[in-house]
Structure 1
Amino acid sequence: MPDADELVANALAAVRGTDVRQAERQLDRLMVGSGAADAGTAVDAALVRRLVRGLAGLWPRGWQPVDVHRITGRRLDARAAGLVRDAMAAQRRDQADPVPQWWDEQLRELGATAVTDQPGVLAGWSRREGLDRTDALRVAVDVLALVESLPPIAVLRPPPGVTGAALPRTAGAARTGSPMLDRVRALLAKAESTTFPAEAEALTGKAQELIARHSIDEALLAGGAERGDAPGGVRLSTDSPYAGAKALLVQEVAAANRCEAVWSDDLGFSTVLGWPADLVAVEVLYTSLLVQATAAMLRGRAERRPGSGRRTKVWDESFLNAFALRIGERLRAATEAATDAATDPADRVAGADRLLPVLAARGAAVRERLETLFPGVTRHRLSVRDAEGWSSGTSAADRAALDVGGVRRPRQVPGRPDAR
């Protein structure tokens, strides 16, 4: 009779195949176990042991806890994401190598802080989810198959167990509880709640001005000290529906804040590269603007002419693409105004001589980081197919601009996993 590890391996191989009946037979054998008195416990332990090992193997390949949790929920469901959380907590408990502080912060934000021993992870999770044993084993095998199938992605920050000598030292995270960010969040909260587009635009523009000034201050401070840091990165969700429009919004917000963005559409996220204060700004703005865009889109739907004959999805996509481009123009204008205002009015030339080289050097470092992590990046063109949606999204009469510049995404190399 196969032991627990063999049973798990057989069930996993069957799930990866195309024979549904064979997969069910292997699941039945997993239910029965090896025939020993503690067969169920042994199978649970083997599943969790292999899942923990699979998770540990993802960290050097660029994945972070938030990434694995997000893609599990995207490709499977919330229950599967809950199992991943518990397994990550168990893996962290057994992690012998040094673990950076930001890693533990991610786990805490996900709620992956349980201290259950590995043998009790599966039983505790299934009991909490109210699953019977068959369903629990089915979900666990699906989760394991997903974790072991994930491709390498860009390593944005040194993972647990990797010293600074093995990877470029990335700049640390910006403070997320600063008074400036509190003011920005308050402005954006008002923008999200108002039903007047002009007021929302003014509030968002003011938030961008504050962000841009803060970014300039941070750049000047950092420019006076040679630390040898490389720009860091964050991944922002661009899930369906309208993933392309969300990726375009990420790119527009990133460009306005001196960052670079690359869309990995099959994995459901955009990677944004930049300096700490700028990355925080992009994350905060994107989150808020997505809320504003969705609310504006729903209002626009209600105002559409009856019997227009257009499919809602096509109209929505056109609206959101137009919104992204329009908001990008306004944000870039606010950034340019803040940069111009940051130079000394009494000596504009000297002020520019001090600030602009610092910004140029930081921009060059971000682009170099982009080329290093995404050497095969290509540009993908998004088409706007509904003039009414475009006009509504931009609040302008420029219906001729129906083909817009799109988002970059990694080039696919035949015979190799996509490099992201």
Structure 2
Amino acid sequence: MTTTSSSTVERAFRAALYAGTDDTLDTGASLLAADPEADGELGRRGREFVATAWRRGWQPADVVRIVRRELDEVHVRLVAALIREQAPYDGPRGPRWSAQLAELPTAPPPRTDRFTRATAVLELYRLLLRLPPLEPLDPADAAPGGSAPAAGSGRARPESRVLTRVRALLAKAEATGYPEEAEALTAKAQELMARHSIDEALLAARTPGDGSGTGAPGACRIGVDPPYEQAKAVLLDAVATANHCRAVWNEALGFSTVVGFAPDLEAVELLYASLLVQAESAMTRAEAAQRAGGRKRTKAFRQSFLAAYAHRIGTRLAAAAEHAGTEVGEADARDLLPALASREAAVTERLDRMFPETTTTRLRGVNDAAGWTEGARAADRAQVRARPRLG
């Protein structure tokens, strides 16, 4: 870094990052475009912005999501490159963080003239500079250096065979063109997840302090993308509740934070993603039937459809979870109820610490009777109730 390049970057930042107008953005981009030697310092400052985001509680997927939501694809590619460049300096962060790094877009930013690229970089930095603090999902995320947790924290546990089977079942459910097959696959996946959660709770109750990672709840963020964010947030909340988790929706930033034990969080992520795909597929079929009957496709129909789907799915998931708990043996049942009560209390305590103040909201725009009816029917066809035990 030379004094000249550092001065160029500082002048560009003063012009573009804090005033926030197109004219000042052009001024900053012009300064950077005229000084190729400033590129190295510009990249270093970008990595600093990324590191600051980590200290504020953000994670790679969160940053990519907000950049995609607020800016364009070129900015997504730029921030993905910055995150990868910063990664060697972050230290170990655990499997969930590593998975987010592995899912970063790999396409490089498009080749453009220097002024256009500098403009995009400054637009990205302006957004990164203004990211608000988030609730840390893990104590390591709040530490200045982002140090890794102590050995035995459970963050490096491999995915269980049950969740591998669940993932495969839901992938088949999403891919099949036959609704009955999708229903059966989803129901089988839900059954396996419910059993897995019960097994984990019993194991934790009988082997306290075994270092398995089930001793304390964790948290993750799941994107809730437009359109119809409210209905999708309700669906996610229903899935979380049925799987012994709690969800808090951040409407402004486009995600929900889900608090729960590690196996349950994985189940929520898998089932929510699959149900969302299946709901949108069912909505497309319902809209086609509506058009065939002479009715135009409307926003109100889609909003009402997804709201009804979320409401009905929540009811049925809760019933399935309750039914799964009744299938355990008598000896297990004596341990299960206090184990589940203890885990629920731990999840609630963690949620209250992360979010001491929350509010409730009502769904808006749910006023299409046909949409509500079709959404409820689609949820009924999902058949998420518990099934007989597998052999």
Please state which band the TM-score falls in when normalised by the shorter chain. 0.7 to 0.9
Greater RCO between the two (CA within 8 Å, min separation 6)?
Answer: 2
Structure 1 residue 337: deviation in Å? 1.2
Query: What secondary structure does 1:153 align onto?
Result: coil
CA distance in 1, matches of 2:258, 2:44: 33
The reply on whether 1:266 has 2:224 as its aligned counterpart is: no
1:189 corresponds, among 168, 171, 186, to 171
Q: 1:183–1:23: structure 2 CA closer, same or farther, 3 Å change rule?
A: closer
Letter in 1 for 2:263: A
The aligned residue for residue 306 of structure 2 is 320
The aligned residue for residue 411 of structure 1 is none
CA distance in 2, matches of 1:88, 1:191: 34
Q: 1:8–1:229: structure 2 CA closer, same or farther, 3 Å change rule?
A: farther
The aligned residue for residue 193 of structure 2 is 211
Residues 25 and 122 of structure 2 are in contact (CA less than 8 Å); yes or no, is this contact kept in structure 1? Answer: no
The aligned residue for residue 156 of structure 1 is 137
Residues 205 and 335 of structure 2 are in contact (CA less than 8 Å); yes or no, is this contact kept in structure 1? Answer: no
Structure 1 residue 390: deviation in Å? 0.4
Q: Please say which of residues 11-20 and 250-259 is displaced more in the overlay.
A: 11-20
CA distance in 2, matches of 1:264, 1:329: 23
Structure 1 residue 140: deviation in Å? 0.8
Structure 1 residue 213: deviation in Å? 0.3
1:99 corresponds, among 92, 103, 119, to 92
CA distance in 2, matches of 1:196, 1:86: 40
Query: What secondary structure does 1:271 align onto?
Result: strand
Query: What secondary structure does 1:156 align onto?
Result: coil
Q: 1:390–1:196: structure 2 CA closer, same or farther, 3 Å change rule?
A: farther
Structure 1 residue 91: deviation in Å? 1.6
CA distance in 1, matches of 2:310, 2:197: 22
Deviations 1:61-118 (A, max 9, x none): 21111211222222112221222122122222344xx423333443233267xxxxxx
Residues 94 and 155 of structure 2 are in contact (CA less than 8 Å); yes or no, is this contact kept in structure 1? Answer: no
The aligned residue for residue 367 of structure 2 is 385
Q: 1:289–1:369: structure 2 CA closer, same or farther, 3 Å change rule?
A: same
Q: Please say which of residues 182-191 and 292-301 is displaced more in the overlay.
A: 182-191
Letter in 1 for 2:102: R
Letter in 1 for 2:113: D
| Structure 2: unaligned runs, 5 residues or longer | 379-391
Query: What secondary structure does 2:363 align onto?
Result: strand
The aligned residue for residue 161 of structure 2 is 179
Residues 171 and 231 of structure 1 are in contact (CA less than 8 Å); yes or no, is this contact kept in structure 2? Answer: no
Deviations 1:93-151 (A, max 9, x none): 344xx423333443233267xxxxxxxxxxx955xx22221111111111111111111
Residues 253 and 331 of structure 1 are in contact (CA less than 8 Å); yes or no, is this contact kept in structure 2? Answer: yes
TM-score between both structures, scaled by the size of structure 1? 0.79
Q: 1:88–1:19: structure 2 CA closer, same or farther, 3 Å change rule?
A: closer
Residues 219 and 359 of structure 1 are in contact (CA less than 8 Å); yes or no, is this contact kept in structure 2? Answer: yes
Letter in 2 for 1:252: A
CA distance in 2, matches of 1:204, 1:375: 35
Alignment of 1:170-319 (within 5 A): 172=155, 175-176=158-159, 178-195=160-177, 197-227=179-209, 229-304=215-290, 306-308=293-295, 312-319=298-305
Structure 1 residue 13: deviation in Å? 4.2
Q: 1:253–1:170: structure 2 CA closer, same or farther, 3 Å change rule?
A: farther
Deviations 1:308-366 (A, max 9, x none): 46x62111111011111122222222211111101x2xxx4x54331100001001101
Residues 94 and 156 of structure 2 are in contact (CA less than 8 Å); yes or no, is this contact kept in structure 1? Answer: no
Deviations 1:203-248 (A, max 9, x none): 3222111100011101111122333943111111111111112111
CA distance in 2, matches of 1:379, 1:26: 43
Q: 1:9–1:313: structure 2 CA closer, same or farther, 3 Å change rule?
A: farther
Residues 92 and 148 of structure 2 are in contact (CA less than 8 Å); yes or no, is this contact kept in structure 1? Answer: no
Structure 1 residue 51: deviation in Å? 1.0
Residues 260 and 366 of structure 1 are in contact (CA less than 8 Å); yes or no, is this contact kept in structure 2? Answer: yes
Residues 188 and 204 of structure 1 are in contact (CA less than 8 Å); yes or no, is this contact kept in structure 2? Answer: yes
TM-score between both structures, scaled by the size of structure 2? 0.85
The aligned residue for residue 25 of structure 2 is 23
Structure 1 residue 7: deviation in Å? 3.5
Residues 174 and 276 of structure 1 are in contact (CA less than 8 Å); yes or no, is this contact kept in structure 2? Answer: no
Structure 1 residue 174: deviation in Å? 5.5
The reply on whether 1:372 has 2:367 as its aligned counterpart is: no
Residues 263 and 271 of structure 1 are in contact (CA less than 8 Å); yes or no, is this contact kept in structure 2? Answer: yes
Q: Please say which of residues 203-212 and 294-303 is displaced more in the overlay.
A: 203-212
CA distance in 2, matches of 1:164, 1:225: 25
Residues 249 and 325 of structure 1 are in contact (CA less than 8 Å); yes or no, is this contact kept in structure 2? Answer: yes
Q: 1:183–1:91: structure 2 CA closer, same or farther, 3 Å change rule?
A: closer
Percent identical across equivalent pairs? 45
CA distance in 2, matches of 1:239, 1:188: 20
